Amino acid sequence: MTSNRLGLIGGSGLYRMPALSDGEWIAVDTAWGAPSDSLLLGTIAGREVAFLPRHGRGHRIAPHEVNYRANIAALKAAGCTEILAVSAVGGFHADVPPGSFVLVDQYVDRTTRGGRSFFGDGIVAHAAFGHPTCTRLGAVVAAALAEEGGLHRIGGTMLVIEGPQFSTRAESLLHRSWGCDVVGMTGLPEARLAREAELCYASVAMVTDDDAWSDIHVDVASVIAIMEANVARAQALVEAVAAGTWGGIHCPQGCDHALDGAVITAPLAWPPATKRRLATLLPRLFG
Ligand SMILES: CSC[C@H]1O[C@H](OP(=O)(O)O)[C@H](O)[C@@H]1O
Ligand SMILES: Nc1ncnc2[nH]cnc12
């Protein structure tokens, strides 16, 4: 398999990649189970890519049901070194109105779901997550957003709720008062797992609504209407990112070595089955 693919995770409303040529859907299984769907392998603007619809084609998988570990492991197994994730989100203030795109660079976690780490079962690691996204890939995305020319914001905090219900008005007002910019249901644990998998990860949030803090509360119909109106912009953005210069395997921020010094369990204590499973994801450390 190619070893510098760009992984693309499509969220609500982004289930296809028309710009992708020579596409082939390939079923992938992982040591953490099956991903949300087969991977669509092909090229966009000359870059080899792997596209995965986060909720599966037909939007069959709820945010709390997504096998995030399998999704990230499958993209890594397909040779991805970078992941661009796209999500529909609610916005918390006038700088991020519906229709705007936000390059997310921080998260606040309000999820309760499991499957948030590849570690456990006898091998413990604590990855640094102070800067949860890749600045190098982020710079490519920022340039693409500028080139695309639509309303956007570089940098923003995504608050991630468990879902699948939207927030109450009280929660929305609280999250807004915390200084968060947007709210979604899927950015975590996805970004955490990309870090543990030593992949560069960037997230573009497409604002579809004002959540529940204003007088008009979010519903699925309004999310889908805004997504449909902006899907061509999202596709153009993905194309521009794919065409952007790939800086090489060695990420200056260290995403590709994110686990250096993070594994605290003594190698002699590693349970063989856990080591074998981790070796499928991180051969550099466990192979
Ligand atoms: C369809 S509205 C709620 C749904 O939309 C977002 O999906 P994604 O993050 O995959 O774009 C949100 O997180 C919910 O899953
Ligand atoms: N307001 C919202 N809350 C959580 N996820 C969303 N996805 C789109 N809009 C959302």
Euclidean distance between the first and final Cα of the chain, in Å? 18
CB 176 within 8 A of CB 235: no
Which helix (H) or strand (E) is 101 found in, with range?
strand 101-104
Residue with tokens 């192979």: 287
- The fold adopted by the segment(s) 5-280 is Rossmann fold (3.40.50)
| Burial of 232 from C-beta contacts in 10 A (0-12 / 13-18 / 19+) | exposed
Phi, psi of 227 (to 5 degrees): -60, -45
Per-residue pLDDT, averaged over 141-168, amounts to 97
pLDDT of residue 246: 78
Which helix (H) or strand (E) is 200 found in, with range?
strand 200-209
Q: Comparing 1-10, 50-59, 130-139, 213-222, which segment has the lowest mean pLDDT? A: 1-10
pLDDT of residue 249: 82
* Average pLDDT over all residues of the chain: 96
Considering only CA atoms, give the Rg of the chain. 18
Question: Is residue 183 over pLDDT 90?
Answer: yes
Q: 90: CA distance to ligand 2 center in Å? A: 4
pLDDT of residue 262: 98
| Ligand sitting nearest the alpha carbon of 208 | 2
What are the pLDDT digits (tens) for 157-178? 999 999 999 999 999 999 999 9
Per-residue pLDDT, averaged over 235-241, amounts to 96
256 part of the active site? no
What are the pLDDT digits (tens) for 93-107? 999 999 999 999 999
pLDDT of residue 241: 97
Per-residue pLDDT, averaged over 13-29, amounts to 93
Question: Is residue 75 over pLDDT 60?
Answer: yes
What are the pLDDT digits (tens) for 243-275? 997 778 899 999 999 999 999 999 999 999 999
Cβ-based neighbours of 244, under 8 Å, separated by 6 or more: 140, 143, 144
Question: Is residue 3 over pLDDT 80?
Answer: no
- Least Cα distance to 69 among 29, 27, 24, 103 occurs for 29
| Ligand sitting nearest the alpha carbon of 212 | 2
Per-residue pLDDT, averaged over 7-32, amounts to 95
Per-residue pLDDT, averaged over 142-161, amounts to 96
For the CA of 206, the closest atom of ligand 1 is: 11
Find out whether 3 is annotated in a ligand binding site.
no
For the CA of 208, the closest atom of ligand 1 is: 2
Q: How large is the ipTM? A: 0.99
pLDDT of residue 266: 98
What is the residue type of 66?
Answer: V
pLDDT of residue 2: 52
pLDDT of residue 221: 95
CB 158 within 8 A of CB 132: no
- Scanning the chain, the segments in alpha helix (DSSP H) are 68-77, 135-148, 169-177, 187-196, 220-243, 272-281, 283-286
Q: What percentage of the chain has pLDDT greater than the value 90?
A: 96
Q: 2: CA distance to ligand 1 center in Å? A: 30
Find out whether 87 is annotated in a ligand binding site.
yes
Per-residue pLDDT, averaged over 62-74, amounts to 98
Q: What does pTM read for this prediction?
A: 0.98
Task: Name the residue of 37, 65, 87, 222 whose CB sits within 8 Å of the most ligand 1 atoms, as the mutation to test its pocket.
Answer: 87
Question: Is residue 1 over pLDDT 70?
Answer: no
pLDDT of residue 46: 93
Find out whether 95 is annotated in a ligand binding site.
no
State how far the Cα of 6 lies from the Cα of 9, in Å rounded to an integer. 10
